[in-house]
Amino acid sequence: MSLLAETQSIVKQFEFTDDDVNKSVREFLRQMDEGLEKDGTSLSQIPTYVTGVPTGQEKGLYMAVDLGGTNFRVCSVKLNGDTTFNITSDKVAVPKELMVAEKAEDLFAFLALQIKKFLEKHHGDHFEAHIRRRMTVSSPDGYRDEHAFRMGFTFSFPVQQVGINKGTLIRWTKGFDIPDAVGKDVCALLQTEIDKLHLPVKVAALVNDTVGTLMAHSYGAPGSHGAVLGAIFGTGTNGAYLEKLSNLKKPLVGEYDSSTGNMVINIEWGSFDNQLNVLPNTPWDVALDKETPNPGIQMYEKRVSGMFLGELLRLVINDLMKNPKVSLFRDENSSTNDRRSTTDIAETSGIWRPWGIDTSILSHAAGDHTPKLSVLRDTLQETLQISAPAYEDAQAFKAIAEAIGRRAARLAAVAIGAVVLKSGRLSDPCHANDPVDVGVDGSLVENYPYFEDMIYEALRVIDGIGEEGAKRIRIGLAQDGSGVGAALIALVAAGME
Ligand code: ADP
């Protein structure tokens, strides 16, 4: 079989047809309902205790911090009340030794210190005034007055949220390991250290990054009636949307303001269809799953997000390189003059190493429209140390990368389409002809060429959306979800105090 024929056969295995899209949307809706009824289902549908989305008219100065993994970001956000905002932020790397500290206090004291430094640097006046006021009050808790900054705390680790500013750490991920903190309320841990430094800051809200994206986009999308979905397509993938409280059948343990009749739900859609009722499952999906520390889990994420697509491509390419009939990235059987005869791959190349290919190479492949794929061939040479790759080889690489990217985008459309349908916005006469806003964030959706176009292509074929519905869906990049989104949740929370 020729390289071309073999490539075509692989590409075919990554096809996700219009029928597959529709079947998956139906299953997604079913799993959403199941998650609203009970715990332990594929889609966790976690209540966030945030009961409304902003309108764009919110005003005030709020703080936001974000502990995501490598960095700790501190910012202050001035909401101007006209959908615009001004943000000031500082970022610092979390020292490696604190990620595995003995006591939770060590890490959280470091975080509080960064907040102090930020206040001194950017809000000196506010800070000094607070210190003066504090000296005149007698109550030891007097410094937690109405002048304190309300702060949203984006904490991207698994937590069991039990209130708008309360959540216990389930387990650490991403290289953190401080057993002392597990089972404790992370907001209280941070507040304790903030109080030790007498800072005028109240941890008002615990924020999930997808909820931040939803809030930020509801504030910032002009003329919208609140975004229906906030979605992340970065290292991982997930979404949050506004659900009617009456549809939320499982018990809620914390306190919340029920007057809006709604609550934001963190879908945790990375684990959609772990049972593989509808998700595609090529031999390379199976191989990838086996390589991960959590086989059988996060099956949707493993087909959609940045952490996995590069590895999926690597597994396919390795198989193809082992195929003696096609001689990919080898010099035998040169078919054209352009197929140079010196192809060689360095031993240190990421192509040989699990997780050795970054998903950004899929974007390079999809974005190269030069007649002889010279950009991609240079990238292959530079990033994967494949010397002098032939045109045909680059063509095969591009076709496979695109097939993986296209399937990911169509799967992304399944989640987006399902949530849009669930919101009922397309058929709501009060919103007839209004845009239906979807806020997205993450390197994959931001950088992969045509990712959004491919999502729209799939949205158009979904029953109940169609051409007309897809025209009304307005996908836009949410600006700074972890900053402005967290600040907005702090604002909502302050209103509930
Ligand atoms: P996070 O989700 O951790 O906040 P990002 O949104 O930046 O961070 O996503 C990082 C992920 O995006 C990584 O898995 C990386 O491989 C992938 N990525 C980075 N750049 C690109 C790109 N140009 N095209 C596609 N994927 C990319």
Please report the DSSP string for 231-260 in residue order. EEESSSEEEEEEEEGGG--SPP-S---GGG
Determine the pLDDT at residue 223: 64
Please report where in the chains the tokens 């970001």 appear, as a residue.
73
* 181: exposed, middle or buried (Cβ count in 10 Å: 0-12, 13-18, 19+): buried
- Sign for the pseudo-dihedral over CA of 420, 423, 425, 428: positive
Q: How far apart are CA 349 and CA 344, in angstroms?
A: 10
Per residue of the chain (497 residues), give pLDDT as tens.
Answer: 699 999 999 999 999 999 999 999 999 999 999 999 998 899 999 999 999 888 889 999 999 999 977 789 999 999 999 989 999 999 999 999 999 999 999 999 999 999 999 999 999 877 777 666 666 654 544 444 566 899 999 998 888 888 999 999 988 877 789 999 999 999 999 999 999 999 999 999 999 989 999 999 999 876 667 899 999 999 889 999 999 999 999 988 877 888 889 999 999 999 999 999 999 999 999 999 999 888 999 999 999 999 999 999 999 999 999 988 888 987 654 444 444 444 588 889 999 999 999 999 999 999 999 999 999 999 999 999 998 899 999 999 999 999 999 999 999 999 999 999 999 999 999 888 899 999 999 999 999 999 999 999 999 999 999 999 999 999 999 878 779 999 999 998 887 77
Q: How far apart are CA 146 and CA 26, in angstroms?
A: 48
Ligand 1 center–CA 383 separation, angstroms: 16
Encoded amino acid at 325, one letter: K
How many whole angstroms from its chain centre is CA 436?
20
C-alpha gyration radius of the chain: 25
Q: Choosing from 2, 171, 177, 463, which is the catalytic residue?
A: 171
CA dist 72 → 118, 203, 461, 483 (Å)? 12, 15, 42, 12
CA dist 304 → 81, 149, 158, 291, 462 (Å)? 36, 38, 20, 16, 19
Grouping H, G, I as helix, E, B as strand and the rest as coil, residue 309 is: helix
Tell me, what's the ipTM? 0.98
* 343: exposed, middle or buried (Cβ count in 10 Å: 0-12, 13-18, 19+): buried
**Is the separation of the CB atoms in 155 and 67 below 8 Å?**
yes
Q: How far apart are CA 89 and CA 85, in angstroms?
A: 13
Q: Choosing from 20, 185, 209, 285, which is the catalytic residue?
A: 209
Determine the pLDDT at residue 394: 96
HSE of 312, CA atoms in CB hemisphere, 13 A: 32
Entry pTM: 0.90
* 456: exposed, middle or buried (Cβ count in 10 Å: 0-12, 13-18, 19+): middle
Pocket flag, ligand 1, residue 379 (CB < 6 Å): no
Pocket flag, ligand 1, residue 62 (CB < 6 Å): no
Q: Is 202 left (phi over 0), alpha (psi -120 to 50) or beta?
A: beta
Encoded amino acid at 214, one letter: L
Please report where in the chains the tokens 């500290």 appear, as a residue.
101
Please report where in the chains the tokens 């996060």 appear, as a residue.
298
Please report where in the chains the tokens 């190493």 appear, as a residue.
353
Q: How far apart are CA 377 and CA 391, in angstroms?
A: 8
Determine the pLDDT at residue 137: 54
Helix axes 209-220, 486-496, angle to 10 degrees: 90
Q: Choosing from 24, 42, 156, 482, which is the catalytic residue?
A: 156
Please report where in the chains the tokens 């990911």 appear, as a residue.
408
Q: How far apart are CA 155 and CA 169, in angstroms?
A: 10
Ligand 1 center–CA 236 separation, angstroms: 9
Instruction: Output DSSP code: residue 145.
Output: S
Ligand 1 center–CA 149 separation, angstroms: 32
Pocket flag, ligand 1, residue 270 (CB < 6 Å): no
- Sign for the pseudo-dihedral over CA of 418, 423, 424, 429: negative
Best residue among 237, 444, 450 to mutate for probing ligand 1, ranked by most atoms within 8 Å of CB: 444
46-47 vs 344-345, strand pairing mode: unpaired
Residue 395, both tokens: 């063509």
Q: Is 341 left (phi over 0), alpha (psi -120 to 50) or beta?
A: alpha
Grouping H, G, I as helix, E, B as strand and the rest as coil, residue 492 is: helix
Determine the pLDDT at residue 338: 43
Determine which residue's CA is closest to atom 24 belonging to ligand 1: 360
Residue 415, both tokens: 């989640």
Q: With b meaning 16 or more CB within 10 Å and e meaning fewer, what string describes 459-483? A: bbbbeebeeebbebbbbbbbbbbbb
Q: How far apart are CA 307 and CA 229, in angstroms?
A: 22
Ligand 1 center–CA 131 separation, angstroms: 42
Q: Which atom of ligand 1 is nearest to the CA of 209?
A: 4
156 as an active site residue: the answer is: yes
Ligand 1 center–CA 364 separation, angstroms: 13
Q: Name which of 97, 95, 102 is nearest 180 in CA terms.
A: 102
Please report where in the chains the tokens 């306190």 appear, as a residue.
255
The partner residues of 47 in beta bridges, in order of sequence, read 265
Residue 280 — φ and ψ, nearest 5°?
A: -70, 155
- Sign for the pseudo-dihedral over CA of 336, 338, 343, 349: negative
**Is the separation of the CB atoms in 185 and 192 below 8 Å?**
no
* End-to-end Cα, the chain, rounded Å: 69
Best residue among 288, 443, 454 to mutate for probing ligand 1, ranked by most atoms within 8 Å of CB: 443
Q: How many CB atoms lie within 10 A of CB 89?
A: 17
Altogether, the residues listed in the chain come to a count of: 497
* 175: exposed, middle or buried (Cβ count in 10 Å: 0-12, 13-18, 19+): exposed
What is the set of domains in the chain, with CATH numbers? 1-48+223-480 (3.40.367.20), 53-207 (3.30.420.40)
Determine the pLDDT at residue 25: 98
